[in-house]
Each structure stands twice: as C-alpha cells, then as structure tokens.
Amino acid sequence: MAKFIINGGKVLKGEIDVQKSKNAVLPILAASILTEQKIKLNDCPDILDVDNMLKILVTLGCNVERFGKYVIIDSSPISSDEIPSKLAKELRSSIFLLGPILARLKKAKVAYPGGCDIGIRPIDIHIKGLKALNVNVKEEHGYIICDASNMKGADMLLDFPSVGATENIMMAATGAKGKTIIRNAAKEPEISDLQNFLVSCGVNVSGAGTGTIIVEGCGSIHGTEYTPIPDRIAAGTYILAALITRGNLTINNVVPEHITSLISKLTESSCKVQVFNDKITINNSKRIKAFEIIETMPYPGFPTDLQAPMSALCCVADGTSIILENMFETRFKHVSELVKMGAKIIVRDKAAYITGVRRLHGADVKAYDLRGGAALILAGLSADGTTAIDDIYHIERGYQRIENVISSLGGEIFRVR
Ligand code: EPZ
C-alpha cells in the first residue's frame, strides 16, 4: 500500500491555485445523464472519487473521455439503470445517481451505499423525497428498486438539510411533471453550483442557497460546457497547513465567502487573514491561540469536512480547544493517530477536548478517512522528525496530488509505494 513520508518542521510559503470542488463535481457528473447531449466539464479534479464516478457512468453505458483537465460525457448510449453493489460501496455518492437515472429512464436499481468511516450515512431523507415525487420505492436484498413512471412535482420539507438528499431530489424533480418545492434544503455552495450547472443545461430551477429550491420538471435539457467552483475544503485544508507550520500562503482563484466560517474562527484566534475578491492570504509566524469552541454545522456554519484538519491545528495551539462534531457519528478516527504523535486529546461523545502541546513528534500512523488523513499530513508537517501515513488512498479520494501542492510550498512529503 502506498504511504506518505513527511519530514516535519519545514515552514510552508508561497502561492497556490486550488483544485475544483470534489463535492460539486460529483453531483454534476451524476446530473450529466439528464441529457442525451454531450457535457464538457472543465478543470475536473484528478482524484479517486471522480475516477470511480466516471467508472459508474461507463457501467451505465455512457461514453466518457478525459482529456487532461476536462472530461466529456456522452450519455446518449445509456443502457442500464442499475448500479452494482461493488461500485456503490466504493463510492458513497453513487446514491445521488438515483435521481438522474429516474428522471432519464423512469426506473432504477441501486445498491445500498455502504456506511463509511465517518458514520452510518442513512438515506432515509433521499427515499422520503423520492416517494414525495410519487416514485414507488422498494428495498430488497440490499438494493433500492424504484419505479418513477408517474413522477409528479411536490411541495416537500426535508427533515434535515441533507446535501446529498437535496441534490438527489433536485435532479429527480427535473423529470417530474409540474413544480417541485424543496423546503429546508441544504444551502452549501455545491448545491448552488449544481443549480448553475442545471440552469446552463436549460433546467428551470432556482432558490439554491436560500433553503427553498423550486424545480419546474419535464423541460428540455440540453448539453453544456461547465466549470465547477473551487474546492472550499481543499482551500481550507491548505490554509490550515500553512498555519500549522507558521508559514505564509496565498490561495488564488478561491471564493472566500465559501469559507467565511473558517476565516472568522481563525480571526477570532488572532490569525492574520487577508481576504480579496478571489484570493486569500495568511501570514502567521507565531503559535496560534486555542479556539474556545468549534461546532460543525450545516452551511454557512463551520464545515464538518474541516473538523479533522482543524483538530490538527488545535493540537499545537496555545491552550485548550473544544470541537463538537454535530454532523456525523464517528468522525474522530484521526484522534487515535494524532495521540500517537503526542497530541493531548480526550473524546467524549461528540466532543473532542484538545490541549495544545508545543511540538508533536513523528510516528507511523494510518488514514481512516479522507479528511482525517489530511489532518495527519498537517500534523506530520509540524512535527519533529518523520511521520509515515499508511492507507493514503483515503486522502487521494479527494485531494488532487496533495504531495505536489505541499512540496511546491516547501514541505518535505514523499509518496512511496
Ligand atoms: C456531503 O455528504 C458531502 N459529500 C460530505 O463530504 C459532507 O461532509 C456532507 O455533505 C455534509 O456537508 C459529498 O458531497 C459527496 P448529508 P452527504 O446528507 O450528502 C444525515 C467529504 O469529506 N442524513 O448532508 O452524505 C447524515 O447521516 C465528504 O468530502 C440522514 O440522516 O451528507 C449526516 O448526519 C464527507 N439521512 C447528516 O445528515 C439521509 O437520508 C449530513 O449528511 C441523509 C443524511
């Protein structure tokens, strides 16, 4: 299994462009099957989750071609409405292919997506939303079998502003007769990006970002060329990497408002963060103060996907920080690995109490999930000595050549087989 080897203690300095958003691209790739015409997706990140989503589209019968930075999807030959178990388990977000397959083919058979390292990952809100659209849903032998031959628009309220469920229902609703109103919808920027993509394909959809989304179904949907938004979580991760090494960093081509919650937390802790219209500069050569409390919330609250990278920074902050993980049941698997590096962390239920130490020390550790793995990279960059991180495929699911980005800033990180 490939590993990252990190020699800690180097100060990160310089400028980077950040990759496009994994969590915008995945639903957009799913939405590409809504039209028989070609979709050209620019700057598609070269990460494992995208590779797996493209594999699933090919399994459905689509033609997929990657030309360096862009991908062309032609779903006109689509021939299957079934997502096999192996692929569904590999990629949790395959569940939001359900909506587009139903809109396009009116029936679907999708294997139950596995829970994953961060929680049970139920799909009850997805299913409830599809049933509200008059989709007949059966769950048999680990498969979800849907009949959408008579899908009708509906006015619904989500029990929780689930990102994936909002996206799934938006896409399904494009194939439902009449108007659909999705209330208590997720407000994440990736939802707005999916809406902008759908609008560029001719779909009549509005309200993303406000909590109430309206879709007029059964309009004609044509091909498009689209460039997704920057990855706000990757941007936040690199900002935290620079901070933990007491360096300075400018990130170009980002949308600062997408990480306002991180910026305000860092500012509270006297980190100097300069925000321009499409770039962010941080410059911090001293030990940062601990954060009184960080609570993960739906957008625009503090993102759960930055909880682990932030906990790494808290490990070397001056004082005790409290992190409450409100979104997922088991998203503290990185804590045991940080403790191996000398971190002082106590976890009780959904809270992590982190008492900052002056220095962490290198150790042999393991990535258990995508963002937890990123946290270990940050800890390794700031630690004395060498850190070896195993199971880095978790990290490569979502960060495009992270070792190259960090090396370009002066970090010593190597990928070894
Ligand atoms: C998306 O996951 C993201 N993934 C996650 O990013 C992100 O952490 C999450 O949204 C929250 O922002 C993609 O976009 C591909 P949810 P999703 O449905 O859609 C509960 C990363 O690291 N829930 O908003 O699965 C669920 O258990 C990944 O990039 C139900 O109870 O998240 C969780 O507690 C990890 N029933 C909460 O809602 C449902 O039917 C939020 O989940 C659906 C969700």
pLDDT tens for 309-348 read 999 999 999 999 999 999 998 899 999 999 999 999 999 9
Q: Give the helix/strand (H/E) hosting 205.
A: strand 204-206
Residues in the chain: 417
pLDDT of residue 270: 82
pLDDT of residue 117: 74
- Residue 116 bears catalytic tag: yes
Distance between Cα 93 and ligand 1 center (Å): 9
The arithmetic mean of pLDDT across residues 27-35, rounded, is 98
Mutate to test the pocket of ligand 1, among 47, 162, 370, 397 (most ligand atoms within 8 A of CB): 162
280 has a pLDDT exceeding 70: yes
Rounded to whole angstroms, the Cα distance separating 311 from 294 reads 9
Q: Which residue, judged by its Cα, is nearest atom 37 of ligand 1?
A: 327
Question: 142 falls in which pLDDT band (50, 70, 90)?
Answer: confident
Rounded to whole angstroms, the Cα distance separating 15 from 20 reads 16
Mean pLDDT of the chain, nearest integer: 95
Ligand 1 pocket, residues with Cβ under 6 angstroms: 22-23, 26, 93, 119, 121-126, 160, 162-165, 186, 304-305, 327-328, 370-371, 398
pLDDT of residue 189: 98
Q: Which residue, judged by its Cα, is nearest atom 31 of ligand 1?
A: 122
Tokens 């990140």 sit on residue: 45
Question: Which positions ≥6 away from 334 have C-beta within 8 Å?
Answer: 308, 311, 312, 367, 368, 369, 371, 372, 373, 375, 376
Question: Which positions ≥6 away from 152 have C-beta within 8 Å?
Answer: 133, 134, 176, 177, 178
Residue 367 structure tokens: 């990535």
Q: Which atom of ligand 1 is nearest to the CA of 93?
A: 15
133 has a pLDDT exceeding 70: yes
pLDDT of residue 90: 76
Asked whether 96 and 83 are in contact (CB, 8 A), the reply is no
Separation in Å, CA 225 to CA 198, 199, 218, 415 = 11, 12, 21, 34
Of the chain, the end-to-end C-alpha distance in Å amounts to 6
pLDDT of residue 411: 98
How many degrees, rounded to 5, is the angle at CA 63 between CA 59 and CA 64?
Answer: 90
How many degrees, rounded to 5, is the angle at CA 251 between CA 416 and CA 46?
Answer: 45
Rounded to whole angstroms, the Cα distance separating 201 from 223 reads 6
Q: Which residue, judged by its Cα, is nearest atom 13 of ligand 1?
A: 23
Distance between Cα 284 and ligand 1 center (Å): 32
304 has a pLDDT exceeding 90: yes
354 has a pLDDT exceeding 90: yes
Predicted confidence (pLDDT) per residue in 181-217, tens digit: 999 999 999 999 999 999 999 999 999 999 999 999 9
Tokens 């896409």 sit on residue: 171
pLDDT of residue 115: 58
Q: Name the CA dihedral angle for 24, 27, 28, 32, rounded to a multiple of 10 degrees.
A: 170
